[in-house]
């Protein structure tokens, strides 16, 4: 059985978030952009993505704070942190809060998709979103 993974891309750089969502859609995923942490929380509540690709450095509600809210409110949603600035402390904090992975921009789209698929499989192991077989399996 095949199905499409729902992915929310979150970045305050609107062009980047929209372009990433479009690139994921072109590769068969069902993607939607959000342009900040608060908007991401609202969309997750209504749309229930399996995976969130989340920028770390955002104004108002940064990626680490957004991750904390997401894991508290929706523990089955897997989160991949994606940032332009490598920070060991942010990576450690994000992983401690339950992020699936911490990636540095630019990440090749194939690597990001592989990570999204792995995150979705892990989410499915918990019986939460992502419990159906991943496309291509």
SS3 46: helix
Question: HSE on the CB side for 62, CA within 13 Å?
Answer: 7
Question: HSE on the CB side for 99, CA within 13 Å?
Answer: 24
Q: Please identify which residue in the block is written with the tokens 């940032």.
A: 83
The confidence score (pLDDT) of residue 85 equals 80
How far apart, in Å, do the first and last CA atoms of the chain sit?
A: 8
The confidence score (pLDDT) of residue 88 equals 83
The confidence score (pLDDT) of residue 122 equals 86
Token digits of residue 130: 């992502």
Question: HSE on the CB side for 92, CA within 13 Å?
Answer: 3
pLDDT tens over the chain, length 137 residues? 346 899 999 999 999 999 999 999 999 999 999 999 999 999 999 999 999 999 999 999 999 999 999 999 999 999 999 988 878 888 888 899 999 999 998 999 999 999 999 999 987 665 444 333 434 43
The confidence score (pLDDT) of residue 3 equals 62
Q: CB under 8 Å to 4, separation ≥6 — which residues?
A: 28, 29, 30, 135
Rounded-to-integer distance, Cα 137 and Cα 12, Å: 33
pTM: 0.86
The confidence score (pLDDT) of residue 2 equals 40
């Amino acid at each position: 059985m095949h199905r499409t993974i729902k992915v929310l891309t979150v970045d305050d750089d609107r062009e980047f978030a929209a372009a990433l969502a479009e690139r994921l859609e072109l590769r068969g995923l069902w993607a939607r952009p959000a342009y900040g942490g608060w908007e991401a929380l609202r969309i997750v509540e209504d749309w229930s993505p399996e995976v969130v690709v989340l920028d770390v450095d955002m104004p108002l509600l940064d990626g680490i704070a957004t991750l904390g809210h997401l894991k508290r409110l929706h523990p089955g949603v897997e989160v991949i942190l994606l940032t332009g600035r490598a920070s060991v402390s942010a990576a450690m904090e994000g992983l401690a809060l339950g992020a699936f992975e911490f990636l540095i921009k630019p990440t090749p789209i194939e690597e990001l998709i592989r990570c999204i698929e792995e995150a979705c499989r892990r989410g499915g192991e918990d019986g939460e979103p992502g419990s159906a077989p991943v496309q291509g399996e």
